[in-house]
Amino acid sequence: MSSVFCRIPVMANRRKTSRHEGPGGFISSCGAKARAFSRGMEIDGVVVSAGKREAAASTAMGTVRVRGVVPGDRIRIRISHAGVNETWGKAVAIIEPSPERVVERCSAAGACGGCPWQAWELAAQRREKARRLMEALSQAGTVHGTVEEIRGAGDGFGCRNKILLAAGGSAGSLKLGLYVPRTHKLIPAEACPVHAPAGAEAVRGIERVLDGFRIAPWDERRRTGTLRSALVRVAPETGRIGVVLMIREWPLKAGPVIGRRMLGIPGVVSVHASHNPDPGAAFPGTPPRLIAGTRRIEVRVRGTAWLLSPSTFFQTNGAALPLLVDAVGMALPERVGVLADLYAGAGLFALSFARRAEQVVAVEADREAVSDLRASADLNGLRNVRTIEGDAAASLSGLHAPDAVVLDPPRAGIPAPLVKRIAEWRPSRIVYVSCSLDALARDLIRFRNAGFSVLRAMPVDMFPHTPHLETVVSLVPG
């Protein structure tokens, strides 16, 4: 049994008895004067919930939010923030580890925040995700459909093909990494086990190239430096890598030379730069400009190819991506007349299933994604794909009723007017792909009220070691 981040000691199982000892061995507030949490105090607790971001530990004085612990852990907590609504703490010792605790592969797992469930065994993670999915479907009154087991790829490591890192260190000794949540403390990402190995190697190559040019990281306090962050994307199946450098100064000095050097990093075929003069924000910036290599990188999934620009959204788990495509394919009819793909992005589903349809209509608001979709359709020789650039809820006035609809909206879900419009079409099948159980439950209630019921729910673990879950739901009239 391992310790957690910062080598939290696993203590011998010691328990103090008291006439006020309550269930689980905690001091009860009954019969004793209630105390308030204060910063720096230490208290014992039991982790009762994995939570959405941080776990919840039950103590004699109330609930404390703690990172890097597992349901069932009995822990010693040092209070770091005592707020009006929530109290936060840090686990300084594990008194008794949960039977579901496993050895983390990353020593920074408890601090980084990127994989809050990494110390929890994968099977237990998926049981909890399945429970949350059933709860969401129950709230929507739609559990009568078939709910399948969660599909997942491997052990959930080495799968993340999009890596966004902030810059730290110094000129000549650059470090790319991740911020500790709610801080500007940087954790180097050199050994992140979730990143695709080719992407991790590219990160080290980028650091070496930029160190050769003495590129300094942006220092927010001193208002000096050049590099804000770097984005690395590894294309599934092809292994081609695109790099975007987010820079404070424009243009990037020696930019073309730096770009050409980066093309020498194994797998790198495209290097862009983006300008962000904002002294505070590290990541958003101007549209990326090509400085070396190709404008797009080629991605392949299940025999279909996509050409992706740096800013175009595409799923980030390369290992599980085929499982997601398969789930949508199982939810769709084998043959369909007109297929509408709303929130189409680069056309992941529009192109994957274009050969099943007489015509595909792909609706997407992002102009760059629409351009990529059209280029990808040409690359695959698909002549039955029509694109509409615009918001899905406001760009459908000229669209005739499709036979089937695929929806893959942002985390917030879809607006009520769009549900109404889709219901008016009365398609034989609606396939809703959601990464938010809250939004999914809300929108399924709307579809139920509009006369549709759930036929099947197929969850896919696109975000292992986190609370998030991708779910493919098929709905039919009636």
- Does 23-101 match 123-155+317-477 in CATH topology? no
Residue ranges covered by each domain of the chain: 23-101, 123-155+317-477, 162-301
Average pLDDT over residues 206-210: 98
Which tens digit of pLDDT belongs to each residue from 155-205? 999 999 999 999 999 999 999 998 887 777 888 887 799 999 999 999 999
| Cβ contacts of 210 within 8 Å, gap of 6 or more | 174, 227, 258
Interstrand relation of 336-342 and 289-293 (parallel, antiparallel or unpaired): unpaired
- Whether cis (ω within 30° of 0) applies to the bond prior to 251 is yes
Residue in 224, 220, 230, 232 with CA at minimum distance from that of residue 184: 220
Query: In the annotation, is 106 catalytic?
Result: no
**CB of 367 within 8 A of CB of 394?**
no
What per-residue confidence (pLDDT) applies to 405? Answer: 98
Q: Both ends of the chain: CA-CA distance in Å?
A: 51
Is residue 417 exposed (0-12), middle (13-18) or buried (19+ Cβ within 10 Å)?
exposed
SS3 sequence, 362-394?
Answer: EEECCHHHHHHHHHHHHHCCCCCEEEEECCCCC
Q: Active-site residue among 106, 159, 192, 435?
A: 435
Q: What is the pTM of this model?
A: 0.90
What is the distance between the alpha carbons of residues 349 and 377, in angstroms, rounded to a whole number? 12
The single-letter code of the amino acid at 23 is: P
Is the model's pLDDT at 450 over the cut of 70? yes
Task: Quickly name the fold that domain 23-101 has.
Answer: OB fold (Dihydrolipoamide Acetyltransferase, E2P) (2.40.50)
* DSSP letter, residue 356: G
Average pLDDT over residues 48-75: 94
Is the model's pLDDT at 17 over the cut of 60? no
Domain 162-301 in CATH 2.60.40.10? The answer is: no
What per-residue confidence (pLDDT) applies to 282? Answer: 57
The CATH architecture assigned to 123-155+317-477 reads 3-Layer(aba) Sandwich (3.40)
